[in-house]
Each structure stands twice: as structure tokens, then as C-alpha cells.
Amino acid sequence: MRSWLSVNSFTALVALCSFQVKADDGASPTARLDSGPIVGTTTALPSATAVVNKFLGVPFAVSPPERFSPPQRARRHGVLNTTAWKSACIQQFNYPEASRNFTISTFNTPAPEESEDCLYLNVYAPAAPARGAGRAVMVWIYGGSLRFGTAGQRTYDGSYFAAYEDVIVVTVNYRTNVFGFPASPELPLIARNLGFLDQRLGLDWVQRNARAFGGDPSRVTIFGESAGAFSIDALLTSFPKGSKPPFQAAILQSGQYSYRTTPTVSSSPAWNNLTAALNCTGPSALACARAAPASVIKNIIERGALQFDPVPDNLTLVSRPAQRRISGNIADVPVLSGTTSQEGRVFVVGQTNITNYVRTTFRSAPVALQDAILAAYPVGGEYPTGYDAIAQIFTEFVFQCPQALFANATAAIGIPSWRYYFNATFPNLQRFPNAGVYHASEIAMVFRTYNMSTATAEQDALGKFMQGVWAQFAKNPHGGPGWNAVGTGDEFIGGAADLDLGVIGGQGWAGVKVIRESEVDGRCALFRPIYEATTGLTIGA
């Protein structure tokens, strides 16, 4: 198996970088990697006793990579200055203009530079020497629908984790859209999910170099949101039971892969549309597309809203993840997963006609099921407007109910599984009017990168609490986040349930309240036939 497809410990190399090089007072911090030495910078946060070393823009692969090709390990180098974030990989923000601008303002502001020279990562580590075998390491995989995103974003700054929780945070860039998931028939199947291969090479880099920053490579927790959580579930389901994945635990925020709401769609038409627009036809279409300017490709895929999704290759992405999960043939590591209470509000802005929405979204479902969904989300009752009702349908159908299935199926096979439900909103996190507890609104709370100058005491208390929960789970995954683990699969179908859902935040309080899953999942059974159709499994009883 080629090196870019495997995760190896490389004992000899680990030995070379099994020490942390500290800076003298007033000097810049340095670290010696298996590829060579790097120089970073330091930061001191308010009221923190720990100084943080930051190494930004560290190459973990040859960059720029050959377009539409798997990543290769970074080459050896002399002293590198790693004091600034590198460019984002080429991003895709689809037209029409209004939709494009809304996505950019909500998820990509301030906008970073973009380049194919983007395979870099960032490390945030306490400056003080680590005790024992080393600190826990948390590796962040960002979201963005596998179309956009970057590790070099202020929201993902791991300094607060390092300063206040004594853990190391690594954020990794990976390719998205057609640059990360090309569907060329000229590429072998195992060389099409390039974004996932980038992530894996980043994890391999962490295994080989964690000790250079005082980290313990046996104590790596992967965490991510949305497409990042999808990526994590792809990792969980692709490492079979009994294997040794390059992580000891996982945190999935608002996303998973096992339970889909729609069938997988081929990206071949998108590739064909792209090559046709580039005038790249015939047997050399791939070579032609490789030679085209990146800006031209970006413009074509954005204006055509071309969708490039990962393809099941049974290496980075299995074809039947739910089946793998319920069979227990997945990575046996503790999992914390959850959602926000109003995920859908950011996705359905401007939609107010609930009847049209339901008839369109569920057009393949029987009319009786469509009517039942309409009756379950009454406008003017629990939901003041059509927008409110539509947003809640989206929240539960796309995110919350699949996450419930994920958490309970994981518990049912004997893997420790905890579930949270984020339910707090604050003025300085509102990216658009009436945003509520929208998709991704918890991220700034986890990293504590919200605007401290405008934060309320309640917000800051909740931010400290959430960051502490995430860090404690990374340090001791089997100990859990501080509330009961999920019991069995019965909760999803409305059966008796334990108090095992941690509601994080609420009106006027900061912390966690533990409730029964059935208190928020009561309508999930409505969608069971759809999940059964997409997974090919019988769900519940």
C-alpha cells in the first residue's frame, strides 16, 4: 500500500522528534519536526498563567500538490518561519449572487487568500514542558459542505484551549470541491477522495510529530463540525474493529455520515460539465483540466453550482456506513456528538411557505407522510411563522434525528457514546437577523473566540464550560463529558429512556442540564421511512 494511503508510526522518526524545543526568555519558540526545524511565535492571553506557542502554516505535505493527485509527505527543509496562517485551498461559493454573498458573509468573513498551495496546518501548544508522556492533542477538521473552509480562520484559533485547558490543538487544511474530490474517470477510485487523503496525511503528521510540541501521539482526539464531522464519521467507519486508528476519541458537531437524508449522487455529470466548459474533451481531459488556470475552474464550478462529492472507495469512505456501524465493524473509540437546537435557520432564510417546502422536499414520500409532517410543525402554534416551522423541519430531519440515530447506534454496539444539544444564543454570535441557535453557532463557544469585549458574563461562563467539557473528553474519553452516556437504541422510537442528553446552555443559565432524548426527538419517528430508504436498513421496531 502506498504511503499516502496508510497511517504508520515510523518509530525511528518519532524518536527523532520526541522532544520539545523550548525558547529562551524573549526568543521565538522552535520545534524540530521529522522534516526539519520550524520557528513560531508566542502569545499570552488575559488572566492565563500559561504562555502559548503558535506554529502557523506548517507544511504537512508537498505544497502545492499536483492538481487532482494524492498528497505526498512534506520534503525535508531548513529552518522555516511558521508565524502566519497560509492560504485557504480554492473555495467554492455558488451563485446566484445573493446566495453566494450570504454564504460568504456568514461562513467566510474575513475572506482569506486562496491558493492551491494550501496543504499546511497550525499548532497551538502550551509553552511549558509537558509532564509524563505528553499532553492530549485535539485535531480540528473544519466544515463547509466539502466545498469551502480553511484552518486559518480566527474562529479556529486554538490558543484558548492551549492556555486554559493544557491541551494541544492542531488545525489542518484540506482540499474541497473539485480540487479535493475530482470525479475524473481517468483517476483510480482510491485517488479521487483527495480531501480525505489530505486529512489522513495530516493525522499521520500528528502521529510523527506530536512529541515535538509536547504532545502524546497515543492521545489524539479528532473533532470537527458539519462536513468536518462528516469527515470524522468517514474515518470512524473506514477503520474496522480491531484496527489502530490514529486517534483515541472523536467529537462530532452537527454532522455524521452513517445516516443520510438523500441517496448518494454521482459527481460524474459535474466533472463532464466542467471539462466541457474548459473545452477539455477526449482521453486527455484530465491533463487538460490540470493545465487550466485555477481561477477559471473556480468560476465555472461556482457559476454552474457544480457539486463534487466524495465517492465510496471502501478506503476513505465505505459504501454502507450505517450497516458498518450497527455491525460494530468500526473504530472502537469513545464518541461525543450533538447538534444545535436551530441548525436549519441558516439554510432556509427567505423561505416562508411551509406547504410548498414540504411538498418539494419530501416529494418522493407518500402524500400521507407529507401531510403528517405539516401537521407536526403547525404554523401559528409552536412556530410563529412559516420560516420558523421550515427551519425546525430542516433542523430535525437533516441534523438532529440522524445524529440521534448515530449516537444510539454507536451505544448499541458497546462503544461509549455521549450526546449533547446546544441551546444558547448570544447577540455577538448572530451572523444574520433572527439567526437563533443556528448551524455552526457553537464553534466560537467551543474555541472561545467570540468577541470578549461584548460577551456577557453568561456567555463567557458557558464558553469556559464548553471548552472545559471538550478538553476533558480529549484528556479522558472513557470518563465522558460529565453526564450519562447514551443507553440503547430505544430512545429514537419513543421508548423509555434514561436521562442521557446533555442540553448545553439555555435562557439565563450556563452549564448543562440532562434530559431524556425523547423530550427533543419526539418527531423523529416521522422521518424513519426516509432514513430506512437511504440506508437500506430497518430502523427501530
Q: Which residue has the cell 453526564?
A: 483
- Which residues on neighbouring strands pair with residue 501, listed in sequence order? 419, 515
Per-position b or e across 328-354, b if 16+ CB within 10 A of its CB: ebbbbbbbbbbbbbbbbbbebbebeeb
Annotate 144-182 with DSSP letters as a single string: STTT---S--GGG--HHHHHHH--EEEEE----HHHHS-
Q: Of 35, 87, 159, 226, which is the active-site residue?
A: 226
Burial class (CB in 10 A: 0-12, 13-18, 19+), 11: exposed
State in Å, rounded, how far the first CA of the chain is from the last one.
42
Quick check: helix, strand or coil at residue 336? strand
- Rounded CA separation 403/419 (Å): 9
The cell numbers describing 381, all together, are 402554534
C-alpha cell at 93: 461559493
Count of residues in the chain: 541
Give Cβ neighbours of residue 191 (< 8 Å, ≥ 6 apart). 69, 70, 197
Q: Is 87 a catalytic residue?
A: no
Residues assigned a catalytic role? 226
